[in-house]
Amino acid sequence: MNKKQIITIAGGGSTYTPGIIQAVLNNSDRLPISEIRLYDIDGKRNEDMALIIDFMLKKEGHSDVVLSSTENPKEAFTGCDFVFSQIRVGGMKMREKDEKIALKHGLVGQETCGLGGFAYGMRSMGGLLEIVGYVQEYAPEAWILNYTNPESIVSEAVRRQFPGIKMINACDMTISIEETIADNYGYDRKEWVSTYYGLNHFGWYTEIYDKSLGRDVMPEIIEKLTSQTMKVADFNEGDQSWQDAFNMMSVMTKDFPTHIPNNYLEYYLYPDMVVEEADKNYTRANMVMDGREKNTKEMAEKIRSGVKEDVLNFNFGEHGQYIVDMATSILNDEHRRFMLIVPNRGAIPNLREDAVVEVPAYVGATGVEPISLRQPIPDFHKGLMEAQVAAEKLLVDAYFEGSYQKALQAFTLNQSVPSARVAKIVLDEMIEANKEYWPELS
Residues found near ligand NAD in the complex (CB under 6 A) = 10-11, 13-16, 40-42, 45, 86-89, 91-92, 127, 130, 147-149, 151, 171-173
Tell me which residue of 214, 196, 215 sits closest to 206, measured CA to CA.
Answer: 196
Q: Quick check: is 264 catalytic?
A: yes
Q: Is 173 in the site for Mn ion (CB under 5 A)?
A: yes
Which residue among 16, 187, 197, 264 is the active-site one? 264
Residue type at position 206: T
Rounded to 10 deg, the angle between the 43-59 and 17-26 helix axes is 30
Query: CB-wise, 200 or 329, nearer to Mn ion?
Result: 200
163 and 147 in contact (C-beta within 8 Å)? no
Contact call for residue 171 and Mn ion (CB under 5 A): yes
For residue 111, state whether it binds ligand G6P (rule: CB under 6 A).
yes
* Euclidean distance between CA atoms 359 and 199, whole angstroms: 8
Please identify which residue in 40, 48, 156, 172 interacts with ligand G6P, judged by CB under 6 A. Answer: 172
Q: Is 149 in the site for ligand G6P (CB under 6 A)?
A: yes
Q: Give the chain's end-to-end CA distance (angstroms, integer).
A: 55
Q: Which of 101, 171, 221, 410 binds ligand G6P (CB under 6 A)?
A: 171
| Nearest residue (CB) to ligand NAD, 96 versus 397 | 96
* Least distance CB 112 / Mn ion (angstroms): 7
Nearest to 6 by CA among 111, 105, 142, 124: 142
Q: Which residues contact 331 (CB under 8 A, 6 or more apart)?
A: 2, 5, 30, 31, 365
Among 49, 199, 288, 355, binds ligand G6P (CB under 6 A): 288
284: partner contacted, choices Mn ion, ligand NAD, ligand G6P, none (Cβ within 5-8 A by kind): ligand G6P
Instruction: Give the count of beta carbons closer than 10 Å to the beta carbon of residue 213.
Output: 13
Pairing mode of beta strands 336-343, 356-364: antiparallel
| Residue 381: CB minimum distance to ligand NAD, A | 21
**Residue 92: which of Mn ion, ligand G6P, ligand NAD, none does it interact with, CB under 5 to 8 A by kind?**
ligand NAD
Q: What angle do CA 13, 17, 23 make, to 5 degrees?
A: 165
Site stretch for Mn ion (CB under 5 A), options 9-17, 45-53, 170-178, 233-241: 170-178
The residue at minimum Cβ distance from ligand NAD is: 13
User: Going along 113-270, which residue ranges are E strands?
Assistant: 143-146, 167-169, 192-199, 202-210, 215-216, 260-261
Element (H, E) at 364: strand 356-364
45 binds, among Mn ion, ligand G6P, ligand NAD, none (CB under 5 to 8 A by kind): ligand NAD
Q: Looking at residues 133 to 152 of the shown chain, list those that interact with Mn ion (rule: CB under 5 A).
A: none
155 binds ligand G6P (CB under 6 A): no
Distance between CA 60 and CA 9 in Å, rounded?
A: 19
Total Cβ atoms within 10 A of residue 383:
10
Nearer to Mn ion, 177 or 208 (CB): 177
Among candidate residues 40, 48, 172, 210, the one labeled active-site is 172
Q: Where on the chain is the footprint of Mn ion (CB under 5 A)? A: 171, 173
Q: Where on the chain is the footprint of ligand G6P (CB under 6 A)? A: 111-112, 149, 171-173, 284, 288
The residues annotated with a catalytic role in the active site are 172, 264
